[in-house]
Chain A
Amino acid sequence: MFYREAGDFKTSYTADSQTFPIKFDRYRYYVVLAVAFGIIPFIINDYWANALLLPFLIYAIAAIGLNILVGYCGQVSLGTGGFMAVGAYACYKLMTAFPDVSMFIHVLLAGGITAIVGVLFGLPSLRIKGFYLAVATLAAQFFLVWLFNRVPWFYNYSASGQINAPERDVFGIIITGPNAPAWATYLFCLIFLSFCAIIARNLTRGTTGRTWMAIRDMDIAAEIIGVNPLKAKLTAFAVSSFFVGIAGALFFAVYLGAVEVGEVFGIQKSFLVLFMVIIGGLGSIFGSFAGAAFLVLLPVVLKVVGVDVLGWPTDIVAHLQLVIVGALIITFLILEPHGLAQLWRVAKEKLRLWPFPH
């Protein structure tokens, strides 16, 4: 009824291999884009931007990045927080060194620098596998955070050890700093998210993505049929870190404005993004969106229910949040190890036949 491919004929190869081959999917995608770009910027206010939309957009970028590494290439990483910090500090150094260059270029360059660092820390993945690799990426997490904390050059010798985003604009519209309008920051992040999602979607559909998945499913077999593990793993680390670096740069420059590295980019951040990927669904771009939305919404909902409705003190709600997140993760893993994306897939299968199943 709502979702079907009947009568959706393709007459060319281009039409057959497009990103959303089913008409309904394609139109839904256009509608989402139209709402996100055309309607939300006009109705957005500061609360919605800062409490929900900006964190969602930025975490979605990070989750897509991590999903490429963990979900598509099978290399578990616990160093996301550290790589986000690289993006943030690279962006900060670029912003302060070249004040006249557009923020777009700064953020992209920050992503590029993170990609280089990511490849460096990805090198051991050629020898180390599985859990050992997960723990090895912790080295990246702790070393990078320590580095940004201890080497004054990175925070421009400021007395507090913090980094603060100076006011920068894109085409005359202020993007960073306290005076940035909500719609501008929102659109800025949205453009990056769309860009990342389109790249990720197309990379994972093509040769690169298939070599990643071959490595994930069985690396030795993949090597035997001619997949180059060096290239596959390092490209996965590079692309993943590129996205994570962009997310880190946006998180610092656009969302928070001021960052103390140990607090913002600590090990907790790595786990948070990993949870988004798991709850959303490993190996699914849509899942990254769903997971990010879920874990950004959950604390806000809990806070509204716990503090405003039930009148509990905030510390109890914070502890309760830990319990609920933990229980949810376990429940999800037991009931649906493939995450929200799988639920969505099942729902689509049901909708194809609804309301007249066989």
Chain B
Amino acid sequence: MPEQLVFAMEVILNGLMAGVLYALVALGFVLIYKASGIFNYAQGVMALFAAMTLVGIMNGQVPFAHLINATFGTHIHYFGWNVPALFAIILTMGVMVLLAWCVQRFVMRHLVGQEPIILFMATIGLAYFLEGVADLMWGSEIKKLDVGLPQGINLWLDETTFNIFDYGFFIDNLDIVATIIAALLVAALVAFSQYTKQGRAMRAVADDHQAALSVGISLNFIWVMVWSVAGFVALVAGIMWGTKSGVQFSLSLIALKALPVLMLGGFTSIPGAIVGGLIIGVGEKLFEFAIGPLVGGATENWFAYVLALIFLVFRPQGLFGEKIIERV
């Protein structure tokens, strides 16, 4: 087998894994968009916020320590205990539910019936707000997140591929775990929306707000629930990305990477988010591998957007999006 082809296969595998992580963020967008028609720009910052809160709780950091110290001249930083990972994750989930409630109570409830663009701007404002709060609460330095997920090269895959191709593939264990978790998460979400009462109510709200109201579904409750679920997805994404590259500001930028994924897959489709994520993941890695060296590298910064842009010109509603019917 020619060497280039083997390299390309490794690149494709890595791309698939990266794509799963993009899809994970994109899922959060789709959930909120389907249920409330809000395009939640803050999803990426929610992932950052969740990851920072998780690290903070695990290390027993005092929230707002810097602010308190600066105001009162004290020197407190840590409570002096460490919280086990699983318990910390549950606590963080509690924080995310609280956040969902606050967002619904103080922001979205007042904006019902506004134009979509106004709602979108509000979520950008929310993103700024959350980012500032997260930095104030836990400090803005890069943190290490370790909840006990396996990391490093997968030796079994390395050996197997070496025996076949004479070249060992480098696949991170974490990426494999992320893929499995993402698959489980999607299965759980689908099961939740298909087979539970709340899930059905959620789909009813997504279908038609007024009809859902008229059969007695509480919009407030559904929206808090949807934002909580999105918070949960953000937490999972935050754990994965945080373990992979440290908890830092750039984490919130993966939200931007999720946008072309959404555009490819269509804003309203969960399978679309996954397929879109995989296409973008593989596409940008392959492009960087094949064309990148010719044009100076770092094409990953823009390839996804340009791909989505070209794609949209031919199919404006994305791969799996609902057909846009326009009337006067």
A interface list, Cβ under 8 A from B: 76, 124, 127-132, 134-136, 138-139, 141-143, 145-146, 149-151, 218, 220-221, 224, 267, 271, 274-275, 278, 311-313, 315-316, 319-330, 333-334, 337
Contact = CB atoms under 8 A, between A and B. Distances in A.
B70 A322 contact: no
Contacts of A134: 120
A312 B107 CA distance: 29
Interface of B: 39, 66-67, 70-71, 107, 110-111, 114, 116-118, 120-122, 124-133, 135-136, 140, 256, 259-260, 262-263, 267, 295-299, 301-302, 305-306, 308-309, 312-313, 316, 318, 324, 326-328
25 contacts: A76-B117, A124-B309, A124-B312, A131-B39, A131-B116, A132-B263, A135-B308, A138-B259, A138-B260, A142-B302, A146-B298, A146-B301, A150-B296, A150-B298, A221-B328, A267-B256, A316-B67, A320-B132, A322-B128, A326-B129, A327-B125, A329-B121, A330-B107, A330-B122, A334-B122
B125 A316 contact: no
A135 B127 contact: no
Contacts of B328: 218, 220-221, 224
What 4 A-B pairs are tightest by C-beta distance, nearest first? A326-B129, A322-B132, A329-B125, A326-B128
Contacts of A320: 132, 136
B136 A135 contact: no
Contacts of A218: 328
B118 to A, nearest CB: 5
B62 to A, nearest CB: 15
A151 B296 contact: yes
A142 B301 contact: yes
A143 B308 CA distance: 13
A124 B121 CA distance: 22
Residue of B67, B110, B305 with most chain A CB atoms under a 10 A cut-off: B305
Contacts of B71: 312
A143 B327 CA distance: 34
B93 to A, nearest CB: 23
Contact of A143 (B120, B122, B130, B302): B302
Contact of B126 (A129, A328, A330): A330
